[in-house]
Structure 1
Amino acid sequence: MTDGNIPTRTGVVGGGQMGAGIVHGLLLAGSSVVLLERDEAAATAARERVQRSCDKSVERGKIADAAEPMGRLTTTTEAADPADCGPVVEAVPEDEQLKRDTLQRVEAVIGDDAALATNTSSISLDALATSLRRPERLLGLHFFNPVPASKLVEIVIATATDETWRERAVEWVSEGPGKTPVVVADSPGFASSRLGVAIGPEAIRMLEAGVASAEDIDAAMSLGYGHPMGPLRLTDLVGLDVRPGIARYLERELGPRFAPPQLLVDLVEQGHHGRKTGRGFYDWNDAKEKTA
C-alpha cells in the first residue's frame, strides 16, 4: 500500500527492543505496521513493548492517546502477512546466520515492488545479499535508539543495490518516518557504528583506568562536544550486551583498536546490561541515577 511513491504499510520482523522502537517510531509517523514474530508468546511480548512505549508518548504529551496508533499495528506469527508491505525491515538480533535466514524467508513472500531492508548496525550487507534471489533490492536501514526521538536513519548501500532502490529509500526515510537519511557504502561498522564503537569503548577504558567518573566522562562529551548524551549513558540505554559483538566484529575486520574493553565484557557476563536490567555504568533502579 502506498501514498504516491511512499509506502504507508511497513513490515517489521522482530519485536525486541530495537524492533519495537522502530514500530513505535513508524506508528507515531502515521504508518500502518505489520510486526512479525516467531511465536505467539513473542508477538504478545512485542505488542506489550510497543504499547508501553506509546503510553509513554502520551505521558510526554507527544500524542493524545495510544489507541489510535496501536490500532494501526498488526502483530502476527504468519510469515506471509507482511506480503503487501514495503519496505520490510528485518530487526532480529545481531547474528549473521539468523539475519540470512530471516531475510530469505521475508524475500519469499514480499512483492516485487517492496524493498528488503536490514537494521544491522555492523554486519556486511554484501555477505547477507549472497543468500538472496534479488540482492539488488537489499539495503540497510539502520535506525537509532530511541527511534521516535532520533532524527537519523543510516541507509547502507551494498555492492549489488540498484540505484532505484537507493533513491526510493532516501525518499521513504525522509517522507515516511520523517528522518534525515545519510547514505553510506557497505563497510565494516558503516559510519555511525564505527565512530560510536571508537568513542564508547575508549570512554569505558577511561572509566576502567580511573581517569574520571562515568558522570564526568559523559559531561565532557555532552557539554564539551554537544553530544545529546555521553557515551556511557548511551551504552546503558542501547544495552551493554549489544556492544561486545559489534566490537569483536570490527576488531576482526579493522584491527585490535576496536577490541571490547574488559570492564564491558565483565559487566555483560555479570548480567549488567544497562537500563533494561537495572544496572550498567549507572544504577537505573533508583529514581536518581548513580554510578554503578
Structure 2
Amino acid sequence: MNPASAPPAVVGVIGGGRMGAGVAQSFAAAGSRVVVVERDGSAAAAALERIAAGLRRAAEHGTPARPSELGVPDRVTVVPAIAELPHDADLVVEAVPENAALKAEVLAAAEQAVHDGCVLASNTSSLSVTELAAALRLPGRFLGMHFFNPVPVSALVELVLAPDTGAAALGAAIRWTHALGKEDVVVQDSPGFASSRLGLALGLEAIRMAEEGVADPEAIDTAMRLGYRHPMGPLRLTDVVGLDVRLAIAEHLHATLGERFAPPRLLREKVARGELGRKTGQGFYRWR
C-alpha cells in the first residue's frame, strides 16, 4: 500500500452502535487495529456481532475481500472504559448519540487517554464541532469525521473543520479517508454542515408532501429515484437513518437556522408512536 494512503495503525472508536460498529469494521478491514469502547459485556457483545454481521453482508453481496480484510475480527477488541483506549492510538472517533454534552464529555476523556499527537474526531451529523472543540485542551487536533450509514459501503466522509483545526489533523483525516477507499469533502463548521443540511431540507419537504396527501411515500420516492437519479428516495432514506435521528437534527437546525427546518407534524407523531423506521420495523415503510 502507498504510505500516503495507509490507514492509521491504531484506532479507537467510542460507541459500538450501528455507526460506531461500521466505523470500526471499516478501519479494521483497511488493516488498522481497532479498540471499541462499550459500557458493559452485553453492549460489547452486541458491538462485535454488528461487525460480524457487516462482514457477513459484504460476503453475501459478493464484495471481493481485500487482503487486509482477512482476520478482521482478530483486529477488533472491546474495552469498557475510555481510560482503556490505547495511549498510542493515531485516531479516536466518537460515535455516541447526538447529544452535545455527552460528546464533549467523552472527547475530553479520550484526550486524557491518548498521546498529544492523536487526532480526535466526532461522527456528529449536525452538532457544532466548534463547540465540541472547546472541551479540549488541544483543539487543533480535532475535527468532524461525518461517516454515512451504512459505513462500510458508503463512499463519502464529510470532514468538518472548526476554526482551530490544524493542517496536520486535516491532512491525516484526508489520507485515512482515502485509505478506507472513500472520498472526502471538506466543509467549514455550520449548522448541519453540507450533507445533513441539504439532505434534511429534501427529507422534511417530502414528509410535508406525505402529510398533505400530495402523493404516497412510494410515489414520492420513485419520483426522486427515477426523475433525479437519487439511489434512494427521501422517505425511505429517512427510515434508514431513523425518524428520531431526523427529528433531532431538524430541531437543532430549526433552532439555529429558522422556520424552514421546522419539523413537520407527521414526523413528530411517528416518533411519538415509536415508528422510527427500519430499526423498529415501521416508519414510512414496513420493514422486516
Classify 1:198/1:174 alpha carbon distance in 2 versus 1 (closer, same or farther; 3 Å): same
| 1:211 maps onto 2:214 in alignment | yes
2:161 aligns to what? 157
CA contact (8 A) 2:26 2:152 kept: yes
1:289 aligns to what? none
Give the drift of 1:3.
8.5
1:138 aligns to what? 142
2:104 aligns to what? 100
Give the drift of 1:62.
2.0
**Residue 89 of structure 2: which of 72, 81, 85 is its match?**
85
1:227 aligns to what? 230
CA contact (8 A) 1:82 1:88 kept: no
1:44 aligns to what? 45
CA distance in 1, matches of 2:167, 2:65: 40
Give the drift of 1:131.
1.1
**Residue 125 of structure 2: which of 121, 126, 135 is its match?**
121
Classify 1:196/1:4 alpha carbon distance in 2 versus 1 (closer, same or farther; 3 Å): closer
1:92-149 alpha-carbon deviations (Å, 9 max, x no partner): 0000000010001101011122100000011101111111100111100000011122
1:254 aligns to what? 257
3-state SS in 1 of match to 2:146: strand
Give the drift of 1:6.
4.2
Give the drift of 1:47.
1.2
Percent identity of the aligned residues? 52
Unaligned 5+ runs, structure 1: 286-292
| 1:32 maps onto 2:33 in alignment | yes
Give the drift of 1:22.
1.5
3-state SS in 1 of match to 2:12: strand
| 1:59 maps onto 2:76 in alignment | no
Classify 1:4/1:217 alpha carbon distance in 2 versus 1 (closer, same or farther; 3 Å): closer
CA distance in 2, matches of 1:70, 1:19: 15
2:177 aligns to what? 173
3-state SS in 1 of match to 2:71: helix
Aligned residues: 283
CA distance in 2, matches of 1:186, 1:4: 25
* Residue type of the alignment partner of 2:138: R
Give the drift of 1:253.
0.5
CA contact (8 A) 1:138 1:161 kept: yes
Give the drift of 1:4.
8.4
CA contact (8 A) 2:7 2:31 kept: no
**Residue 264 of structure 1: which of 262, 267, 286 is its match?**
267
CA contact (8 A) 1:36 1:82 kept: no
3-state SS in 2 of match to 1:108: helix
3-state SS in 1 of match to 2:160: strand
Specify which structure has the higher proportion of helix: 2
CA contact (8 A) 2:4 2:175 kept: no
CA contact (8 A) 2:94 2:103 kept: yes
CA distance in 1, matches of 2:190, 2:5: 33
Classify 1:243/1:96 alpha carbon distance in 2 versus 1 (closer, same or farther; 3 Å): same
Query: TM-score, normalising length from structure 1?
Result: 0.92
Classify 1:122/1:4 alpha carbon distance in 2 versus 1 (closer, same or farther; 3 Å): closer
Give the drift of 1:81.
2.6
CA contact (8 A) 2:5 2:175 kept: no
CA contact (8 A) 1:122 1:189 kept: yes
CA distance in 2, matches of 1:219, 1:230: 6
CA distance in 2, matches of 1:78, 1:101: 13
Query: TM-score, normalising length from structure 2?
Result: 0.93
RMSD: 1.8
3-state SS in 2 of match to 1:197: helix
2:21 aligns to what? 20
1:112 aligns to what? 116
* Residue type of the alignment partner of 1:116: L
Give the drift of 1:201.
0.6
3-state SS in 2 of match to 1:38: coil
| 1:183 maps onto 2:186 in alignment | yes
